[in-house]
A and B are shown apart, each in its own frame.
Chain A
Amino acid sequence: MDYQWDFGPVLRNLPLFLEGLAQTVRLSATAIAGGLAVGLALALMRLSGRRWLAWPAVAVIEFFRSTPPLVHLFWVFYALPILAGISLTPFLAAAIALSVQSGAFFAEVYRAGIVSVERGQWEAGRALGMRRGALMRRIVLPQALRRMVAPFVERAFELVKTTALAATLSYGELLYQAMVVVSRSFRPLEVYTAVAVIFFVLLFSASLVMRWVEARLSRGERR
């Protein structure tokens, strides 16, 4: 193979990559926070025992779990403004779409965690005279949250990867910046390899940290 690797364009445009990385992190953090909030709301609606609350929640969860995130992005960016009579920046559109999309998945994590707390725990709390709010706050959630950590982290990683789709709305995250650099330098191999490496390092190191945290948590569970 006689191809001459040249990472010059990557190094020269390092500030652009760092800016892209910062935007990726910003969008990820916003969407994770949004997704956790949306997911909690959906899960509580679903578990409320009231049909008029549970049904819409189920519909949203099922719809967003069974359609591509790219469709959500396009729908929010191009279609929602027409319906709502507003205009959205690419960041806002991506943040909304990804929050609701991941919220549908987070909702299931919350629900599974809550449902996994044994019936005896609910009964013991009720037998003390606790009402639903106190029971959730004091007995169920503290136990459920621990079990939710691992699936939450997994979902958050999926979400970080999904943020790359925001490049299609010309939002200046990592992949989009890379596309800009490629169009100037004609060095797709080096640039896209660099992007892949940056994502890999970001996610893989984060996953190592989380594995360590989970190991500590599960030790806590056994105490």
Chain B
Amino acid sequence: MIYQPDFTDIVANVDLLARGAWLTLSLWAIAYAFGLAAGLVLGMVRTAGQPLMAWPAAAYVEVFRNTPVLVQLVWFYYAFPVLTGLQMSAFTAAALGLCLNTSAYCAEIFRGGIRSIDAGQWEAGRALGMTYGALMRRVVLPQAVRRMVPAFTNRGIELGKMTAIASVIAVHELMYEARLLSANTYRPLEVFTVIAVIYFVVIYPGTLLSYRLEARLGRRG
């Protein structure tokens, strides 16, 4: 027997999917922007050579990198309010979890990038009498950021895929709408195929960009 695919329900509910996609994009943008900014601070703290500050930063990074994102989101949604008494919407909890998770990964990218600048550059800056901040801003980061761009692009892709996990704590993003639609229409094959294609179409250009950036970096050495 050959299965007859039927996409009419999906077409009829395209507005739902569009709303879901909008939330997905919002989650991504918030977490990416926060993750980059907080990651920069954390990365600098870890490389500045102050053990009292570097240790907590390292612990933070390791905790978020060594636990599943889903556990993090579930924790922020169900456990965090118990601890703090703050009630959060599912969206806020998901955004918080993704922000912190992304910041931990970005911190590692910044740290690796800063470390990759050779000692001579630091010495040359110090010899000119530059402060740590000036040295970082004027000498180290401009060189390091170029090398980090492919890794950040990759992080953006991983984050894009991660947003789907927010559906588990009932954030009405794209994946959640898909699960709802599938349950209501009994058309999981069509729904999840279409959703997979949507994610692919949105994320794949990013993947291509990261290949190109990596190749360019590889050529420059």
Q: Do chains A and B touch in the complex (CB under 8 A)?
A: yes
Residues of A within 8 A of B157 (CB): 65-66
Q: Contact at B66–A204, with CB atoms within 8 Å? A: yes
Residue A175 at the chain B interface, CB threshold 8 Å: yes
B176 to chain A, nearest CB (A): 10
What's the nearest-Cβ distance from chain A to residue B180, in Å? 12
Establish whether residues A199 and B62, one from each chain, have CB atoms under 8 Å apart when the complex forms: no
Q: In the bound complex, do residue A167 and residue B70 qualify as a contact, i.e. CB atoms below 8 Å apart?
A: yes
Give the distance in Å from the alpha carbon of A72 to the alpha carbon of B207 in the complex.
18
Which residues from A are CB-within-8-Å of B175? 68, 70-71
Confirm or deny: B145 has a beta carbon within 8 angstroms of a beta carbon on chain A: no
B18 at the interface (CB under 8 A from A): no
Interface residue B127 (Cβ < 8 Å from any Cβ of A) = no
Interface size class of A (residues with CB under 8 A): 35 or more
Asked whether B7 is an interface residue with its Cβ less than 8 Å from the other chain, the reply is: no
Given A74-B179, A189-B83, A193-B75, CB of A199 within 8 Å of CB of B67: yes
Cβ A66 vs Cβ B200 within 8 A: yes
Question: Is the beta-carbon distance between B203 and A74 smaller than 8 angstroms?
Answer: no
> Which residues of chain A have C-beta atoms less than 8 A from B164's C-beta?
68, 70-71
Report A-chain residues with C-beta under 8 Å of the C-beta of B203.
66-67
| Contact residues, A1-31 vs B (CB, 8 A) | 1, 3
Question: What are 13 residue pairs bridging A and B, where the CB atoms are less than 8 Å apart in the complex?
Answer: A66-B157, A66-B200, A70-B164, A71-B175, A71-B195, A74-B179, A164-B70, A167-B168, A175-B68, A189-B83, A195-B71, A195-B75, A199-B71
Complex-state Cα separation, A82 to B200, whole angstroms: 22
Chain B, interface SS category: helix
What are the residues of chain A within 8 A of B82 when measuring CB–CB?
3, 188-189
Residues of A within 8 A of B67 (CB): 161, 196, 199-200, 203
B71 touches A65 (CB 8 A): no
Interface residues of B in 33-72 (CB under 8 A from A): 62-63, 66-72
Are the CB atoms of B70 and A175 closer together than 8 Å?
yes
Interface string of A47-86 (1 = CB under 8 A from B): 0000000000000001101111111101100110011010
B residues with CB within 8 A of A: 1, 3, 62-63, 66-72, 74-75, 78-80, 82-83, 85, 157, 160-165, 167-168, 175, 178-179, 182, 188-189, 192-193, 195-196, 199-200, 203-204, 206-207
Known contacts A63-B200, A165-B165; A207 and B70 CB within 8 A of each other? no
Whether B3 and A83, one on each chain, are in contact in the complex, defined by CB atoms closer than 8 angstroms, is yes
Give the distance to chain A from B173, nearest Cβ to Cβ, in Å. Answer: 11
Which residue from chain A places its CB closest to the CB of B202 in the assembled complex? A66
- Residues of A contacting B: mostly: helix
Whether A66 pairs with B74 at a CB distance below 8 angstroms is: no
The answer to whether A164 and B68 touch (CB under 8 A), given A62-B204, A192-B75, is yes
**In the bound complex, CA of A195 to CA of B79 (Å):** 11
- Are the CB atoms of A200 and B63 closer together than 8 Å? yes
**Number of A-B pairs, beta carbon distance below 8 Å:** 124
**A141 contacts B by Cβ under 8 Å:** no
| 5 additional contacts (CB under 8 A) given A68-B175, A175-B68 | A66-B161, A71-B199, A79-B189, A192-B71, A200-B63
CB-based contact A67/B70 at 8 Å: no
Inside 8 A of A67's CB, which chain B residues have their CB?
A: 161, 196, 199-200, 203
| Minimum CB distance partner of B83 in chain A | A189
- The reply to whether B193 and A75 form a contact with Cβ atoms under 8 Å apart is yes
Q: Contacts of B178 on A, CB cut-off 8 Å?
A: 71, 74
On chain B, the residues within 8 Å of A196 by CB distance are: 63, 67, 71-72, 75
Cβ of A87 within 8 Å of any chain B Cβ, yes or no, is no
Q: Which of A122-167 contact B (CB under 8 A)?
A: 157, 161-165, 167
Whether a CB of chain B sits under 8 angstroms from the CB of A168 is yes
Does B68 contact A189, Cβ atoms closer than 8 Å?
no
Q: CB-CB < 8 A to A68: which residues of B?
A: 160-165, 175, 199
Q: Please indicate the chain B residues that have their CB under 8 angstroms from the CB of A1 in the complex.
A: 83
When A and B form their complex, which 8 residue pairs have the shortest distance between CB atoms, in order from nearest?
A78-B188, A68-B164, A164-B68, A188-B78, A68-B161, A161-B68, A79-B189, A189-B82
Min Cβ gap A22→B in Å is 17
